[in-house]
Amino acid sequence: MQQATGAQPVLKSAGLTKKVSSPEGELTILDRADLQIGAGESVAILGPSGAGKSTLLSLLAGLDLPTSGQVWVNGRELTALDEDGRAAVRADQVGFVFQSFHLVPALTALENVMLPLELADRPEPRAAARRALEEVGLGPRVGHYPRQLSGGERQRVAIARAFVGDPAVLFADEPTGNLDSRTGGRIADLLFGLNTDRGTTLVLVTHDRVLAERCDRQLEMDGGRLL
Per residue in 99-128, pLDDT (tens digit) is 788 899 999 999 999 998 988 888 899 999
| Statement: residue 60 has pLDDT above 70 | yes
| Statement: residue 6 has pLDDT above 70 | no
Lowest-pLDDT range of 9-13, 72-76, 173-177: 173-177
pTM as predicted: 0.86
- Provide the percentage of residues in the chain whose pLDDT is more than 70: 96
pLDDT value at residue 3 = 56
Half-sphere exposure for 227 (CA within 13 Å, toward CB) = 13
Which CATH fold would you assign to the domain 9-226? Answer: Rossmann fold (3.40.50)
